[in-house]
Amino acid sequence: MFMDAMDPTRAFVKDVKRLVIKFGTAVVTRSDGRLALGRLGALCEQIKELNTQGYQVIVVTSGAVGLGRQRLRYRSLLNSSFADLQKPQAELDGKACAAVGQNNLMALYDTLFSQLDVTSAQLLVTDNDFRDEAFRNQLTQTVESLLALRVIPIFNENDAVSTRKAPYEDSSGIFWDNDSLAGLLALQLKADLLVLLSDVDGLYSGPPSDPRSKLIHTYLEKGHQGQITFGDKSRVGRGGMTAKVKSAVYSSQAGIPVVITSGYATGSILKVLNGERIGTLFHRDAYKWVQVKEVGAREMAVAARESSRRLQAMSSQDRKKILLDIANALETNEELIKIENDADVEAAQLAGYEKSLVSRLVLKPGKISSLANSIRVLANMEEPIGHVLKRTEVADGLILEKMSCPLGVLLIVFESRPDALVQIASLAIRSGNGLLLKGGKEAKRSNAILHKVITEAIPDSVGKKLIGLVTSREEIPDLLKLDDVIDLVIPRGSNKLVSQIKDSTKIPVLGHADGICHVYVDKSANMDTAKHIVLDAKVDYPAACNAMETLLVHKDLVQTGGLNQLIVELRTEGGAFCINKELLFYL
């Protein structure tokens, strides 16, 4: 599996070998009770992929009762006269529905897996079975044999003969539904991970349909218990989200990580195993991750706004001092920054990134000192806040003034260059703005250490949350919804990125369409100055996105030899530099 998008709290998945996956009734069937063939087929394809990669996959499936009920109702309808249909319809026996449905459900799994050259096996269990130690030992041996043969064991509760009656959950029960069965099996079979598939993306702080509800990426029992209101149980099954959360809590406390995620989303199982931050994670060590747990998008943006207002209230000299302290802190921590940057560069090279991207990622010797000096220059520039730009007398005694002021909270998405983080943060502090930053994942270690150094230099009177670092791309959609808190979005990247962000938010977006990196040399230009500008634009940092792409020259420079001077300088300083004269444009 590729781990390029791995979230720190999901790093444990790299050690997962055996996992239990539970398909809920709402995943297996459609809203009308019929089987969701396309969805089920896609899930089977993911299991085939995991099986091929060497994972040991155990499936727990629901849906037999609902499927049997739908099938028996159809048969009853075909065998009923019109007069029969006018009479009250008797409720179908649930155990008969289970018997019929189980047969059809397993026939479908067999067909789907056979098409993928995978063999599956059916194992039906009841609550009472697990009271027998000999049964549990035999069950483990059977499953071990099946997994060794690369067979997919498919479990379901044998509702047709189960002696359990509602209410299903009581003090005497071992499991009460397929969610708790999945947790029990994960424990009995020593699984490394339990995945509970639902019809929603995970556990929310409120009803998933409520736009104010937030997806909880990592469940903290002490932090979230009592703050979540559960709605109705599943529309078709016995459990619902309440049952899933109980099973997840029990399993995680026993040492088995659990992820509740959508069975509707494309590739959700593979994404979980890829370490992506999807769904809701339950892990007994989650409380240790306070330093890496997600901060809600709104909380991060609100904190940046509050800090920015305190920053704006400071004097120009105080803001200047913050920048000077940041410059000093960068130079003091240069060695630590270099270590983290080297780790990013090495990881990018091993991942096979393009040379131009790796080049932009590198903080070359002297870069930190250069950045620090640039910050000092910025600190000593004229105060940007409170300038009267225009004054108009609207009426006698009524003066209208146009004055420079901070924008508020900025969300800036930028590319792989970690030095951009320093530049953006410095400009935001000088201009009194709050900031949310999302850098490229290839520079995550460099960005993290630079963010830490900068924010630690910000005084408590302002607040270190003035600058928030967004660590996951999954947080961006949530941030783009906060048009009441974030004042401007600035995406620095491809045309596609800018267009996607513009289409996804009501927040004003300052974005370019296509960059034009041209240098024009006129016939009246001083050639010494022109050569210096052209060389700096192309040779100094060719990997930069604003490096010169096209050199335009006045046609008279061909006759005077100015063009040849430029070509000679470029070839001398730039090494293997080629100019195709057929592609030159003359003005």
Show the tokens assigned to 182: 């999945």
Take residue 44 and report the two structure tokens written for it. Answer: 């089977």
CA distances from 536 to 322, 540, 547 (A): 31, 5, 9
* Mean pLDDT, range 161-173, rounded to an integer: 59
Number of helices followed by number of strands (H, E) in the chain: 22, 16
The answer for residues whose C-beta is within 8 angstroms of residue 142's C-beta and 6 or more apart is: 123, 153
Section 414-419 average pLDDT: 85
Q: Give yes or no for a contact between 184 and 153, defined as CB atoms under 8 angstroms apart.
A: no
Most confident by average pLDDT, 204-213, 240-249, 416-425, 545-554: 416-425
| Weakest mean pLDDT among 35-39, 294-298, 555-559 | 294-298
Q: Name the nearest CA neighbour of 52 among 112, 109, 113.
A: 113
Q: Are 462 and 311 in contact (CB under 8 A)?
A: yes
Complete domains list, the chain, with CATH: 8-289 (3.40.1160.10), 297-503 (3.40.605.10), 518-583 (3.40.309.10)
Tell me what the pLDDT averaged over the chain comes to: 84
Of 92-106, 119-133, 196-210, highest mean pLDDT: 119-133
| Percentage of the chain modeled with pLDDT above 70 | 85
The whole-angstrom separation of Cα 20 and Cα 184 is 10
C-alpha count within 13 angstroms, C-beta hemisphere, residue 339: 4
Phi, psi angles (nearest 5°) of residue 389: -90, -30
Highest mean pLDDT among 161-165, 234-238, 412-416, 553-557: 553-557
Per-residue confidence at 587, pLDDT binned at 50, 70, 90?
A: very low
* pLDDT above 70 for 73: yes
Alpha helical stretches, state H, 333-475: 334-350, 355-361, 367-379, 419-431, 444-456
Q: Are 305 and 409 in contact (CB under 8 A)?
A: yes
The torsion region of residue 281 among left (phi > 0), alpha (psi -120 to 50) and beta comes to beta
**Cβ proximity of 414 and 440 under 8 Å:** yes
87 pLDDT higher than 70: no
Give, in order, the Cα–Cα distances in Å from 192 to each of 251, 258, 269.
Answer: 11, 9, 14
Q: Looking only at Cα atoms, what is the longest distance across the chain?
A: 104
169 or 587, higher pLDDT: 169
For residues 526-537, average pLDDT: 88
Residues 190-218 have a mean pLDDT of 86
Q: HSE (CB half, 13 Å, CA atoms) of 162?
A: 25
Residue 422 burial (CB < 10 Å; 0-12/13-18/19+)? buried
Q: Quick one: pLDDT at residue 452?
A: 94
Tell me the two tokens of residue 338: 């270099």
The alpha carbon of residue 215 and the mean position of all alpha carbons in its chain are separated, in whole angstroms, by 12
DSSP 8-state secondary structure symbol assigned to residue 53: T
What is the predicted pLDDT for the residue at 236? 42
Segment 483-496 mean pLDDT: 86
Greatest mean pLDDT among 281-295, 350-364, 400-414, 503-517 lies in 400-414
pLDDT of residue 5 exceeding 60: no
Range from 168-182, 244-258, 533-547 carrying the lowest mean pLDDT: 168-182
